[in-house]
Structures are given as C-alpha cells and as structure tokens.
Amino acid sequence: MINFLLAITALGYCFWGLVCLESNVRKARNLKVPIVRIPIDPNSIIWVIIQPWVWKLLEFLPISWSAFPNFIRFSHRNWHFLEKSNPTQQFGPVWALVSPGGVHLHFSDPDAIQEILSRWRDFVRPIEKYQILAIYGPSVLTVNLDDWPRHRKAVAAPFNQANAEFVWGEALRQTKAMGHYWASHAQAGIPDMPQDLRTLSMNVLAAAAFQESYDFIGSVNMKDRKFNTENYRDSLYIVHKYIILLLLIPFRILTARVLPRSLGDIGRAALSLKTSMMNIINEESIAISEGTSSYGGMLPSLVRVLDQDNAQDQETKDFPTRVKRDRLSVEEIMGNVFVMNIAGHDTTANTLAFTVMLLASNPDVQDWLREELISVTGDKPLEDWDYSLFEDLKRCQAVLIETLRLYAPITGLPKMTSKTIESFHVGKHVLTIPPGIEIFPMLLGIQTDPRFWVDPYAWKPSRWILGSTATAPYTNKERLFVPQKGTYFPWSEGPQSCLGKKFSQVEVVAFLAGLFKEHHILPILKADERMIDARKRAQDCADDVNYNMLLKMSHPSRVKLECVKT
C-alpha cells in the first residue's frame, strides 16, 4: 500500500513538473528566442543535493559529455564551466533555459550584459537565494533594494588605500611563512595545498578585520591543534569549515544538549564568533565616543556608522525595523562582517589553489613571473617590499586575471527582472521581458568566447601583457591589456560589483610575488612517469571541478606538488 502511495505521489510530482514546464515554455515562446528545456528546476534544493550522485552514475556510461542531449547537459549544476562558450555558438547571444521552476534567460552580448549589470533596480539580485547568509543579521547581500544603498555605503568605506596596504603586508608575511613550511616538506610534497591556502586567506581576512596579525599554521599542525573558540580567528576558522551545516541549521540549535558534542562545538564556535563581534562592537563604540579608539581595520570602520540610539538591548530585540539613514544596527554590522568573511574567503582561497596548480603545470610561466619579480624587487628582502610595487607587478596581475578568466569562482551572476523591461536590445533582437524572469549574464561563456579571445580555452597569462610575448625578456614598459567592456567581469561590474576586488588582487599578487621569486612548484612524478605527463595531470586536475557554492577543484590532492627553494 505504502509503495503504491509513493508511486502515485512520484507520478503526480512528475506530472505537475511537466505541466509547469510546458506553461513556462509558453511564456518563453513569447520572447522569441531559442529555447532549451530541462526537466528539473536548477534551484530545487533536493536536486542540488542529489545531483552529484546522478552525474557519478552517468560517468559510468561510455558516452562523452558533448554527446549527451541538451536536456541532460544543461541540467548539470556546473554546465557554465563544462560548456563555456558553446551555448553562444549553438543558440546565439540570448537564449532561454526553461525548467519547471521558471524561465532563465542567458545573455552573451557585451552591450546587453553591461546594461543588465548597470540597471540594478530593474535586474535585481534574487536576495531570497542569499537569505541563508543572514545568520548573524541582515547584510549588503540579503537586504532589499531600498535598504541596499545604506549597507553598501557603510561596507564600502573600509575598502580603502590603508586597507590595501595592510592586506599587501599581511599577505606577504603569511606567504613567507607558508613558503618555509612548503619548502620544508620538499621531498614528501606539500601535505595539503588547498588547506594551507585557505588558512592563508583566512588569516589575511581575520587580520584585516582589526589590523592584527595571526601566525600561519601549516595543515599538518592544524590537524592536531586545539582550537580556542574564545579567539576570533579560531571561531572564524571553525565557522568557515562547517559553513554549509551552519547555513542549514541555526547555531543555537546545534548547541542543544541532546545533540552530539561535535555538533555542539560547531554551534559554540558560531556563538562565540557572535560574542566576540558583539564585544568588539561594544568596546569600540565606547572608545569612539570617548575619542580613544585603538583598533584600525574593517570592523571598527563599520562601528563608526553604528546607530547608537538603536544599539541598546540588541540581544533581546529582533532585527530593528527602522535604523537611521547612513547608520547600521549592531546586528547589521555583524551580518556584514560575516558576509565580508564569506564573500572574501573561499573566492580568494580557491583562486589561489587554481593558480598554484596551473603554475605547477606551466613552469615556463613561473620563469616568466620570476623574471619580472627579480627586475622589480631587485635585492630588497621581502620585508621591505612596499605596497607601491603592486602596480609594477603586471605579470603577477596577469596570472590572476587569466586564472579568473577561465576559473572564476562565481560562474554565473543571477539577476531577476523586477518589472517589465521594454525594448531591450541584444544584437539584432529586441525583447520585452516580463517581471520575474531569471537573467544570467554568461560570465564564463563570454570570457571564453572566440569572438573576443584568441585560443580562448588555453590558460595564457601573457595574453594580458601588451608590448610583450610569453618568451620576450622583461621590460618595465609592459602594460596590461584592457578588454572590451562586458567581456570580462569575474568581480561583476556596475553598482553591485564586488567590494573586495582590490583586496583580492592585492592578496593574490602579494602571494605570487612572495612565493615565486624564490620557489619553484612542480608536480611530483609517479613511478615511471615523465614530467610532461605529470604536468598534463596537473592541468587535468585544475579542469576537474565542481560547483557547490563556488567553483573549486574536485580532487586537488590527486596531484602531489613539491615546493623547491631556488
């Protein structure tokens, strides 16, 4: 009987899905653009959870990815990376993916993309997708359009020149310690490259919060370490490690006595992070009012816009509904600090990991970088490298922007039409787009489009250097290529673009400079393997990715890397 009921429910669910799909297809037909149907809503949570197993099963079939029909390929969560610019060639600059969940319009026309990203009140960020990030309070990523400018203004303030200089110094310091640690494991190989880069990125972020430094701890020592949840960096570390769990289950529930101790520890770390943020906000707001503020950094900068009148009794209140213009409540400050950490951590750490793997696969690019580093930094020890060097390190910048061209951590930038958009031009097409349609500027699609990029799928940092080639000797006349507007935007563009763009650029360039001037990274050979094959393995490893919240390598530990001091 139960089986029968289950079968009827499943059939009913499928039937309802088909009805919704066909109703959405009818909507999409009015747009007069090519249509690709997929049977499952890509935003369905159940599908997001079960799909990795579905793809694993499909991998057993003797069929190549490109031979699968569209409805299978475009159901993959990571089709943006797998397909790159193919959809543009197949369907043109605008086309609709239609699922039972809605119409998802995709654009790969630079002018249309520019317009979408600049008209942020018409093409809005779907904030309901980001609500799970509001675990400590509302933030720039979770509030509605009317509230967003107030948050943006407050959160943008700390991303200034002083912040960039601090990030530069701190990233160099962390990289130096990491370089020693990696080189000390030269024979056996780097124990856990992605973990070390996450630690580095976390330490830089935590330090930038108060302009205080933390020591780098390598992955081997990290495993045995007793975490002190009273410490801001340690609580942040645990919160990041178990972020998916914390986004799904409120941390107060995790601390309930009936749950296992391990879950309780995670809940307590999240609670302790909240307590340390509250303490700092309280201390700092008193210090600011008394004119004795001692901290620099991003968190104190937010405290300067604290709405003092609303600050009392925050513990007992829900999110305050009315906060003064240009001010933030305590919970909004905590929400924004948390979001800065979330937005700035894995994005940068994953980019660093891709960069290291790609450089290991391309030793010629390491030599090309080193040439610049030796010329620009001369005999100066790393401790004396001034922030002004950042601008001169064009080849280091090129390595970062080329990595983000092909391996951007956020591969599609979802928007939603907030009203009917009349006369929207996409090449020859003129569209009228109804409200509630999901809009995707095809970030990876356009960044690999052969109309704008020569040899588009190859990782070639030298393509960004004007007046030079991959083999030409270094000169200080080298300049960075500026791509056509709307063809390169890994940090997004327009009013809602990434606030941490400079932060991440400075961090990655400092990392490249600090490591590659005096170290080589190479893949460790397997028995009887040739170097050329090991390098190919490293490239394949960078191309074997998954997309949960961000793009990352699926199995980085399959290629063991060695770090050798020159």
> Which residues contact ligand HEM (rule: CB under 6 A)?
125, 140-141, 152, 155, 339-340, 343-344, 347-348, 351, 404, 408-410, 413, 490-492, 496, 498-500, 503-504
Nearer to ligand HEM, 343 or 431 (CB): 343
| C-alpha angle 55-61-65 in degrees, rounded to nearest 5 | 60
Task: Identify residue 162 by its one-letter amino acid code.
Answer: A
d(CA 94, CA 441): 10
d(CA 444, CA 411): 6
To ligand HEM, the closest distance from the beta carbon of 438 in angstroms equals 13
Nearer to ligand HEM, 33 or 406 (CB): 406
Nearer to ligand HEM, 67 or 132 (CB): 132
Structure tokens at 310: 């609303």
> Which residues contact residue 430 at a Cβ distance below 8 angstroms, ignoring those fewer than 6 apart?
423, 424
d(CA 51, CA 73): 12
To ligand HEM, the closest distance from the beta carbon of 507 in angstroms equals 7
Nearer to ligand HEM, 172 or 404 (CB): 404
To ligand HEM, the closest distance from the beta carbon of 274 in angstroms equals 19
Report, in this order, helix, strand and coil percent for the chain, each rounded to 5: 55, 10, 35
d(CA 487, CA 449): 9
The packing angle between helices 232-241 and 330-361, to 10°, is: 70
Nearer to ligand HEM, 323 or 404 (CB): 404
Structure tokens at 118: 């600049």
Task: Identify residue 193 by its one-letter amino acid code.
Answer: M
Half-sphere exposure of 249 (CA within 13 A, CB side): 15
Sign of the torsion formed by the C-alpha atoms of 459, 461, 466 and 468: negative
To ligand HEM, the closest distance from the beta carbon of 446 in angstroms equals 14
Would you list which residues are annotated within the binding site for heme? 498
Half-sphere exposure of 291 (CA within 13 A, CB side): 0
Nearer to ligand HEM, 12 or 495 (CB): 495
Closest Cα to residue 34, out of 112, 115, 107? 107
In this structure, are residues 123 and 308 in contact, taking their beta carbons and an 8 Å threshold? no
In this structure, are residues 414 and 439 in contact, taking their beta carbons and an 8 Å threshold? yes
Cα dihedral 534, 535, 537, 538, rounded to 10, equals 130
To ligand HEM, the closest distance from the beta carbon of 354 in angstroms equals 10
Nearer to ligand HEM, 365 or 410 (CB): 410
Closest Cα to residue 310, out of 320, 302, 325? 320
To ligand HEM, the closest distance from the beta carbon of 57 in angstroms equals 32
Closest Cα to residue 81, out of 372, 342, 406? 406
Output the 3-class SS for 258-318.
CCCHHHHHHHHHHHHHHHHHHHHHHHHHHHHHHCCCCCCCHHHHHHCCECHHHCCCCCCCC
To ligand HEM, the closest distance from the beta carbon of 257 in angstroms equals 36
To ligand HEM, the closest distance from the beta carbon of 343 in angstroms equals 4
Nearer to ligand HEM, 183 or 323 (CB): 323
Nearer to ligand HEM, 301 or 504 (CB): 504
Nearer to ligand HEM, 109 or 346 (CB): 346
Number of helices (H) and strands (E) in the chain: give both, helices first.
22, 14
In the bound state, the residue with its beta carbon closest to ligand HEM is: 500
In this structure, are residues 562 and 186 in contact, taking their beta carbons and an 8 Å threshold? yes
To ligand HEM, the closest distance from the beta carbon of 439 in angstroms equals 12
Nearer to ligand HEM, 27 or 153 (CB): 153
Would you list which residues are annotated within the binding site? 498
To ligand HEM, the closest distance from the beta carbon of 500 in angstroms equals 2
Closest Cα to residue 109, out of 341, 342, 366, 451? 451
To ligand HEM, the closest distance from the beta carbon of 280 in angstroms equals 17
d(CA 38, CA 516): 45
In this structure, are residues 509 and 400 in contact, taking their beta carbons and an 8 Å threshold? yes
